[in-house]
Amino acid sequence: MRCPSLSSPTMTEGQSERTIQVLEHMLRACVIDFGGHWDKFLPLLKDAQDKVKSIQAKLLAAQSRQKKYAGHKIRDMTFQTGENALLKVSPMIGVMRFGKKYKLSPQYIGPFKVLECVGPVAYISALPPSLSGVHPVFHVSMLKRYHCDGDYIIKWDSIVLDKDL
């Protein structure tokens, strides 16, 4: 049975070269810092390299754990062209929207028709002329699927845009 690194040298060649390069840098620093007695400090270099490998393994485990935590609440939402969606309105402190303070103002306005999918998570919506100051491309997190049976939806006619938006 052959060693995997010997059967396909292209797979491990870059990794070996990088390891040799790191060891050379460490030895050069050791020779410069400790002069003629650098051979006494070789166990410290070996220990440092082992710690780096351990830290890298623990970082990979922590990254995968954080990815799992972050991905737990993500909804996979896609919209089809022509489908209706509600647009999320972010509440801002001190801003009057729809004649109400920010805590009582509606979270979503619409419905608006989805015209086109721009990327994996961005959509172009058909906005009315009164919202001409708003860019029509929205991230999927700003959209909510519209269900036709809602009296709780506030119409976009009552939106007044500020000049500083």
Give residue-wise pLDDT tens across range 51-101.
988 999 999 999 999 888 877 666 678 899 999 999 988 765 555 555 666
Residue 52's CB is within 10 A of a number of other CB atoms, namely: 11
Among residues of the chain, what percentage have pLDDT more than 70?
70
Residue 26's CB is within 10 A of a number of other CB atoms, namely: 17
Most confident of 31-40, 137-146, 155-164: 137-146
Backbone conformation region of residue 94, classed left if phi is above 0, alpha if psi is from -120 to 50, else beta: left
Kindly give the pairing relationship between strand 122-125 and strand 108-117. Answer: antiparallel
Residue 123 has pLDDT above 70, yes or no: yes
C-alpha–C-alpha distance, residues 147 and 150, integer Å: 7
C-alpha–C-alpha distance, residues 21 and 41, integer Å: 19
CB distance 97 to 154 below 8 Å: no
Q: How far is CA 23 from CA 46, 54, 88, 118, 123, in A?
A: 9, 17, 54, 47, 50
The whole-number average pLDDT for the span 21-36 is: 79
Task: Match 């000049």 to its residue by tokens.
Answer: 163
Alpha-carbon dihedral 131, 133, 137, 138, rounded to 10 degrees: -70
The mean pLDDT value of the chain amounts to 78
pLDDT at 67 (0 to 100): 85
CB distance 144 to 108 below 8 Å: yes
Kindly give the pairing relationship between strand 143-145 and strand 137-139. Answer: unpaired
